[in-house]
């Protein structure tokens, strides 16, 4: 879930393999550095993105503010593709693939991702990961729609 310029992991499941990405449940990261955050930022208009990353918010930490031109280009590509791939953006040695979870009105409410050590990521499996994530996101969206 995104709040301002941060993304919070609200649920996590670890695999049983010894080499794995540990649970990030409850952790907060800069939104532009996570798969989930990027997917949620992609739903913002240019004006909303500018507001989230307004220079005055970063007066005390200017190095933390992303290059908005590069970020906008990446978010356009992400919207076109419908998924995000994060290669070592939040942490060295980690790759994550994610898709948005949308509400009835089409707005991204959250995102769903799978993270793995980069040594396990095979780009040839990207489409199957995205397909599985989209199927899970579709089921979650249906569950959410029934609860409202």
- DSSP secondary structure code for residue 62 in this structure: G
Task: Enter the tokens of residue 36.
Answer: 């989930």
Which residues are bridge partners to 7 per DSSP?
Answer: 2, 29
Q: Where are the domains of the chain?
A: 2-147
What is the DSSP track for 101-145? EE-TTS-EEEEEEEEEEGGG--GGGHHHHHHHHHHHHHHHHHHHH
Confidence of residue 44 (pLDDT cuts 50, 70, 90): very high
Give the rounded percent of residues in the chain with a pLDDT score beyond 90: 66
- Rounded Cα–Cα distance for residues 134 and 128 (Å): 10
- Rounded Cα–Cα distance for residues 143 and 129 (Å): 21
What is the Cα Rg of the chain in Å?
15
Higher pLDDT, 82 or 20: 82
Only one residue has tokens 């409202």, namely: 148
Q: Sign of dihedral through CA atoms 126, 127, 133, 134?
A: positive
* Mean pLDDT value across residues 23-27: 69
- Whole-prediction pTM value? 0.85
**How many residues are listed for the chain in this entry?**
148
Q: Give CATH for domain 2-147.
A: 3.30.450.40
Contact 113, 100 (CB under 8 A): no
Q: Which pLDDT tens digit goes with each residue over 78-115? A: 999 999 999 988 888 999 999 999 999 999 999 999 98
């Amino acid at each position: 879930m995104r709040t301002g310029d941060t993304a919070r992991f609200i649920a996590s499941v670890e695999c049983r393999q010894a080499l794995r990405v540990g649970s990030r449940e409850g952790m907060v990261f800069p939104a532009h550095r996570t798969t989930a955050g990027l997917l949620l930022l992609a739903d913002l208009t240019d004006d909303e993105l500018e507001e989230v990353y307004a220079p005055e918010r970063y007066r005390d930490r200017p190095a933390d503010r992303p290059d908005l031109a590069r970020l906008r280009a990446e978010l356009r590509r992400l919207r076109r593709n419908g998924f995000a791939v994060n290669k070592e953006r939040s942490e060295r040695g980690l790759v994550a693939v994610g898709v948005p979870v949308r509400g009835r009105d089409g707005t991204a409410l959250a995102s769903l991702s799978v993270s793995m050590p980069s040594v396990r990521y095979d780009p040839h499996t990207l489409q199957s990961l995205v397909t599985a994530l989209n199927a899970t996101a579709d089921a979650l969206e249906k569950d959410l729609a029934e609860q409202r």
